[in-house]
């Protein structure tokens, strides 16, 4: 009963805390990706709406909002992790774009991916380089390409 609150005692309820984390997560996602995240919520609404909420609350509201690493570094680490998974091309595409949004250069993304050849293998790194090229090409076509450095 220690974590229950009584009306008027000034403490936040679990629902209030969850709503705060959700709002913080949505704001962080928008900062990172430039999108509201509503498409994620909509895509999962009929299958697993709670899962979308977990992504926002835990992933973006808690982890990506922690102090200690800037977003550029966090996103390069995320790219590295996704390369190592070797089976998350959709997420890799999103997070390469997010790394660029947060100040990483194309060269830093490429070097991060190439570094992972040592740990994930050449096929995983090669697949990731093709995903990176797709992201870079799409940004060039849209006129939003960051500096080459």
pLDDT band at 17 (very low <50, low <70, confident <90, very high): low
Say which residue the tokens 């090669």 belong to.
Answer: 126
Structure-model confidence comparison of residues 72 and 19, the more confident one: 72
Distances (CA, A) of 30 to 16, 34, 66, 94, 131: 21, 5, 16, 12, 22
Q: Per residue in 107-116, pLDDT tens?
A: 999 999 999 9
Based on DSSP, count helices (H) and strands (E) in the chain, helices before strands. Answer: 8, 0
HSE, side-chain direction, 13 A CA sphere, residue 16: 9
Predicted TM-score of the model (pTM): 0.82
Question: Which pLDDT band, with edges at 50, 70 and 90, does 14 fall under?
Answer: low
What is the structure's pLDDT at 10?
Answer: 59
pLDDT (tens digit per residue) in 51-99: 988 988 999 999 999 999 999 999 999 999 999 999 999 999 999 999 9
Range in 11-15, 76-80, 84-88, 139-143 the model is least confident about: 11-15
Least confident of 36-40, 59-63, 66-70, 131-135: 36-40
Q: What is the pLDDT of residue 99?
A: 97
Band the pLDDT of 120: cuts 50, 70, 90.
very high
Tokens matching residue 123: 């096929």
């Amino acid at each position: 009963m220690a974590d229950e609150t009584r009306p008027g005692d000034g403490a936040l309820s679990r629902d209030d805390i969850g709503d705060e984390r959700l709002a913080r997560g949505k704001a962080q996602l928008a900062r990172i990706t430039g999108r509201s995240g509503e498409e994620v919520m909509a895509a999962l609404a009929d299958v697993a709406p709670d899962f979308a909420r977990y992504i926002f609350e835990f992933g973006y509201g808690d982890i990506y909002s922690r102090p200690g690493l800037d977003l550029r570094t966090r996103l390069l680490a995320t790219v590295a992790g996704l390369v190592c998974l070797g089976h998350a091309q959709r997420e890799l595409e999103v997070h390469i774009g997010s790394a660029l949004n947060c100040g990483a250069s194309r060269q830093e993304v490429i070097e991060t991916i190439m570094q992972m050849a040592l740990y994930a293998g050449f096929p995983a790194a090669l697949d990731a380089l093709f995903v990176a090229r797709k992201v870079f090409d799409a940004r060039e076509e849209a006129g939003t390409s960051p500096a080459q450095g």
